Amino acid sequence: MKTGLRQSMTWLHTWIGLILCWLMYFMFVTGTTGYFDEEIDQYLTPEVAHHETATDKQRFISAINYAQTNAMDAPEWFIDLEAKRGGLLTRLFYRTPSTEDGSPATSNNVLIDPRSGESVEDIARKTAGGQTLYRMHWRLHYINTDFSYYLIGVITLFMFIGVVSGIIIHRKIFTDFFTFRAQGNGKGWLDIHNLVSVSSLPFQLMISYSGLIFMITTFLPLIAFGSLGFDQNAARDIYQKLYPQIKVERSGIKATMLDAETLYQKLQEKVDIAQISSLRIKAPGDENAKVVAHIADNIYGARATLKYVFNANTGEFIETQDRATNPAMLFNKIMLELHEGLFADIELRWLYFLAGTLGCCMMATGAIYYVRKRKIKVKPGQAIPKSLRNIESTNIAVVIGLLASVAMFFNANRLLPLDMENRGEWEVHVMFITWLGCFIHAYFRPSEKAWMEQTFFAGLCCLMLPIINVITLDKHVFSSLASGNWLFASVDLFFIACAGIFFYIAARMKNKAITVQTPNKKVAQQRSPKPRVSQPALTRTMGQ
């Protein structure tokens, strides 16, 4: 059967949307929070004076001193020196090797206060933090990481196809953009879907294609391997050219590493310390110990590949290293940098957040429109098909329930006992338990009531956070505003604004439901004895 391109793409767009929109929505919500991951980390550890500052020298010296005291037996230290968007702490990562008495190797991720040189582990509450929330958008949770990586790859591919097919099916893309039909026939949702999709179209294209670029080595290794005749050595050579690794073999001869102050001075003779994004100290305490300084630049940020290599014991400069590069690799690097937005300052970060939010709206409105369109076709007195009812329940739990659950993740950070075992993991459990509750609620309540109640619940979850802060912390919205701690004030105000929006929507749903139901109550009762049958008030109200 021959069909036009627009028709076949409409079919593809609808089915991709129907099958994958819930997971894509989850990816978008958690990914969008990732643009403020560092800020969320700071917000979730209110005991640390994040708003205070430290110099580059303090960061450098405190991290090296800490590592020299606590991690001399580690094969390598990684020190993240970048002041993350005004954050105070420096991150030190090292692995402790397994010992002869059977103690297993451990990974240590230490946050150091550069002013005191101490780890904040004893001061700050244990939290999953913004990093966990952000990682969920590609690693999901509770399932095997490799599996989730492949799954997310396939979804990203279909999302890209969904965006492109969405462009194809709109013959009059600009006319559609300025159209809004609020006649209650469900078209209003399509118009909002068009509006949010078109207004954030460049972002949606960029985010989905750059997401695929992250997957290149996972999904297409055969191209690289096959073009080299499946020769492992040739593949290794090419890999070394593209991603050069500085390998340092331990000689077994002990040597004294330079103290932090001297090392700082030696490095500064060759490179501006402020430009160093991170340091790798390889084989510390050995005769062959080396310091590798990664240099950040304005375009590629943390993806910059220039490295300066020094002798860790003498401070002598050895060499600079950079990757082999070509226009395609530069394009990839720029796309990846655009995806992560690490280069963005606070204003641009908010723009990213807005574009991400529009992406969430795109998924949500598309999912709602699918159900509305089909519900309107159900004749009075005719039962709504079970499959449609299940789709709508899932829509409710995903669109609203997920937002309530994320708010509960923040609340859990404030409410769980500070000395609780696996506290960070429990914050995540609370989020998913809340979400599960939302699913159960959505499946057992009539859909129009479930929409209203979950929206109200989401508002309540959002409002709880600033209230709990006022009760339990000295860093709450009022004190933060008074002291000019804008990060804490912004997060609290954001949650208050979200609560206001949710309450407003819930109130509107309730009022409209009452207005529509009251005059026709008798008729409606005669027509539909069961609450799930036909004429749902929300069909009329939300379409208006």
Positions in the binding site for another protein (CB under 8 A): 1-3, 5, 7-12, 15, 154, 157, 160-161, 164-165, 209, 212-213, 215-216, 219-220, 222-224, 226-229, 238, 241-242, 324, 326, 328-329, 331-332
Q: Which amino acid is residue 299, in one-letter code?
A: I
We find the least distance from the C-beta atom of residue 170 to another protein, in angstroms, to be 15
H or E, element range at 281: strand 276-282
CB of 211 to another protein, least distance (A): 10
Helix (H, G, I), strand (E, B), or coil: what is residue 290? strand
In the complex with another protein, the residue whose CB is nearer, 4 or 102, is: 4
Tell me whether residue 160 or residue 426 sits nearer to another protein (CB atom).
160
**Torsion sign (Cα): 204, 207, 210, 211:** negative
Q: How far is the CB of 400 from another protein (least distance, A)?
A: 30
Output the smallest distance, CB 169 to another protein, in A.
Answer: 11
Give 162 or 466: the residue with its C-beta nearer to another protein. Answer: 162
Q: What does the alpha-carbon distance between residue 419 and residue 417 come to, in Å, rounded to a whole number?
A: 6
Quote the CA–CA distance of 209 and 504 in Å, as a whole number. 36
Question: Shortest distance, CB of residue 391 to another protein, whole angstroms?
Answer: 17
Between 15 and 504, CB nearer to another protein: 15
Other C-beta atoms within 10 Å of 98: how many? 11
* Least CB distance to another protein at residue 460 (A): 42
H/E stretch holding 314: none
Q: What does the H/E/C string look like for 10-29?
A: HHHHHHHHHHHHHHHHHHHH
CB of 47 to another protein, least distance (A): 45
Work out how close the CB of 23 gets to another protein at its nearest, in angstroms, rounded to a whole number. 17
User: CA dihedral in degrees (185, 190, 196, 201; nearest 10)?
Assistant: -170
CB 536 within 8 A of CB 375: yes
If you search the block for the tokens 């020094």, which residue do you land on?
Answer: 310
Tell the residue number behind the tokens 């991603």, with chain if given.
243
Give me the residue label for tokens 């960070």. Answer: 424
Q: How far is the CB of 190 from another protein (least distance, A)?
A: 17
**Upper half-sphere CA count for residue 213 (Cβ side, 13 Å):** 19
Contact by Cβ (8 Å): 31, 210: no
- DSSP class of residue 259? P
**H helices present in 200-259, as ranges:** 201-214, 216-219, 221-227, 232-242
Nearest residue (CB) to another protein, 54 versus 335: 335
Alpha-helix runs per DSSP H in 107-144: 129-139
Q: Tokens standing for 247?
A: 């390998």
Report yes or no: 401 and 443 within 8 Å, Cβ to Cβ: no
Q: Which is nearer to another protein, 132 or 210 (CB)?
A: 210
Pick 298 or 326: Cβ nearer another protein: 326
Shortest separation between residue 368's beta carbon and another protein, angstroms? 22
Indicate the residue among 25 and 160 with the shorter CB distance to another protein.
Answer: 160
* Cβ pair 405, 435 in contact under 8 A: yes
Between 154 and 274, whose beta carbon lies closer to another protein? 154
**Residue with smaller CB distance to another protein, 1 or 418:** 1
